[in-house]
Amino acid sequence: MATGRGRLLLQHWRGLLALHWPPGGVGAAPGLAGEAPGPAGFRKRPGTSYAGTATLKQCARRGRHYKQPSADHPASLESMPSEILLKIFSYLDAVTLLCTGCVNRRFYHLANDNFIWIRIYSTAFSPKISNWQVNSAEKTTVSMNLLSVEDKEAGYWKKEYIAKQRASVKAALARVLKPVNPYTGLPVKTKEALRISGLGWVIILKEKNGKEYIMQHIDLLINDSSVTIIWYGRNWPQLATLSTLDLCGVTPVFRDRSKPPSKNGPRWLSLIAKYNLSNLTESTMIGWDRLIRIFCLHPGLLVGLWKREEELAFVMANLHFHHLVEKSTLGSATVPYELPPHTPLLDDNPEYGLHGYQLHVDMHSGGVFYLCGTFRNLFTKKGSIENGYVKLVVIRFKNNTEHLPLIGKVGLSWRTDVFSGCIKSCSIMDITLLDEYGKPFWCLSSPVCMRSSVPSDGPNFLGQTYCVDYVDSEGKVHVELVWIKETEEYFIVSLVLYLKIAKINHWFGTAY
Ligand SMILES: *[C@@H]1O[C@H](CO)[C@@H](O)[C@H](O)[C@H]1NC(C)=O
Ligand SMILES: *[C@@H]1O[C@H](CO)[C@@H](O)[C@H](O)[C@H]1NC(C)=O
Ligand SMILES: *[C@@H]1O[C@H](CO)[C@@H](O)[C@H](O)[C@H]1NC(C)=O
Ligand SMILES: *[C@@H]1O[C@H](CO)[C@@H](O)[C@H](O)[C@H]1NC(C)=O
């Protein structure tokens, strides 16, 4: 079953975003975040603060004062004539040139120069460089376009260059993600894809007045079906001033595999999910310990608040591997990646879409697994469709041989720079449900907690009964457990999935 799990602490991802795009920004990269309207991927907003590195910002601020050279202020770059600056800029590499464009409006326009960018473009994508497999059609395009540099609006070749760089990353990722493990239905090389894309994650805390705080993740745990990403810090904004939290994947726009990713280079943001922080209420609270209370916001976000101050202690995002890399790299800063459309494979089997499911369930926290189970050949009947859901029974109450223990002391471990702890009876649950062709049908990774429940009918157990419930827009999971005092362990005595019938009809082209 589970093999090759490992921890990746990607410290080099901790470089904070330090790119501030000038007014107007870089337009959407064609063919990439092209679905997204307007300037995609990069954000420039007043009051955006990138904790830690404010260098560029300060330098930008200083840049606004155009100073004449004098005895006190020797000749500076800014006071030079445009022709000289253009000459100097022509020696810069793409990343430096982009950063230079962030200094002020004048530098931005100069650093957009098509002659400089077409040189960068043709050097990078020239067929002479063996890394780049440019076909002859593209070669011709380059040389033809060279003739028409002046026809293009300023910044055209910069955008082309960025778009092409992004497209090459996208193509490399698609190649790496193609081989699928027949047992898990998930890409074999997700970890490698994470490495080659230089992918990291940020949360963007937005204040009600529009101010934003971008936080780079502190810790990362990768297992076979999901990744857990953790943020904490001491100088976080006050919760009362915040309105939303955006979870985004962040990738370097230019990835030079021979060099470690630069901390301050341009980054691409891909929105994964948006959360409303006014949802941190009693109804979303799932557990607590001495110091903190935890809240679960869908999809998969865990927020810990200090009990006493009611302030943010940590944020933990749980992302399932299914489409993880695509969601984290191919969206834009404002529009999430849209899953490719699904075309149902038609079949006239009367029970089509109701059988041949395979489920993998993990319950874990902090790299410790309480449950790892695979269940094959799951099926249901038309008769068990009720209230828009079809019921898929995985572990039967009545059949003792199917019951499973949770291994170890179940708890959700958390830590911050000052305290750490473990919230009893909570954990992360990963669900990977494959259809009869072995394709991922429903995947999720979410914090869950056990609640005391009254025993259902069925055999009488000698112990307290608990249940775990998960609900989202596609289905529900209901688990029943019994605490066995003698052996001090939880036993799963019932596990049932409820799948939205609309989802089944959409996936299989059926009409139940
Ligand atoms: C999950 O990851 C942790 C740390 O990353 C590792 O110690 C653990 O062995 C992994 N668990 C499994 C079941 O692979
Ligand atoms: C968040 O939720 C609150 C209450 O449910 C609502 O008033 C507010 O408009 C929401 N904010 C956003 C940004 O969706
Ligand atoms: C969160 O708030 C939104 C409204 O802003 C509401 O539609 C949604 O149901 C809330 N979710 C939870 C889990 O309370
Ligand atoms: C009980 O479960 C076992 C193991 O899954 C299975 O082999 C057996 O047929 C089941 N018995 C009944 C009565 O369903």
Type and span of the H or E element at 480? strand 475-484
295 alpha carbon, closest ligand: 3
Question: How many whole angstroms separate alpha carbon 237 and alpha carbon 21?
Answer: 24
What is the pLDDT at residue 134?
47
Rounded Cα distance between 213 and 231, Å, is 13
* DSSP state letter for 187: B
Residue 461 burial by Cβ neighbours in a 10 Å radius (0-12, 13-18, 19+): middle
Q: Is 278 in the pocket of ligand 2 (CB under 6 A)?
A: yes
Residues 6+ apart with CB under 8 A from 448: 286, 296, 363, 426, 427, 428, 429, 468, 469, 470
Predicted local distance difference test score (pLDDT) of residue 384: 85
User: Which pLDDT value is given to residue 152?
Assistant: 79
Write the residue with the smallest CA distance to atom 2 of ligand 2. 278
Alpha-helical segments (H) within 178-222: 190-197
pTM across the whole model: 0.78
For residue 178, give the amino acid letter. K
What is the Å distance from ligand 1's center to 367 Cα? 4
* Residue 364 Cα to ligand 4 middle (Å): 27
Q: Domain coordinates of the chain in residue numbers? A: 33-177, 186-329, 357-508
Amino acid type, 468 = V
**C-beta of residue 495 within 8 angstroms of C-beta of residue 361:** yes
Residue 33 Cβ inside 6 Å of ligand 1? The answer reads no
**Through-space distance between the first and last CA atoms of the chain, rounded to whole angstroms:** 34
Cβ proximity of 168 and 328 under 8 Å: no
pLDDT digits 0-9 by tens, 37-73: 333 333 434 344 443 333 333 333 333 344 444 555 5
Nearest C-alpha to atom 10 of ligand 4 is from which residue?
399
DSSP per residue, 422-444: EEETEEEEEEEEE-TTS-EEEEE
Around ligand 4, the residues with Cβ closer than 6 Å are 399, 401-402
Q: Report yes or no: 444 and 298 within 8 Å, Cβ to Cβ.
A: no
Q: Is the pLDDT of residue 167 over 90?
A: no
151 burial (CB, 10 Å; 0-12 / 13-18 / 19+) is: exposed
Rg (CA), the chain: 26
> Which is the closest atom of ligand 2 to the Cα of 244?
13
Overall average pLDDT of the 314-321 stretch: 96
Q: Which of 277, 279, 282, 285 to mutate to test the pocket of ligand 3 (most atoms within 8 A of CB)?
A: 279
Residue pLDDT, tens place only, 449-472: 999 988 766 556 668 899 999 999
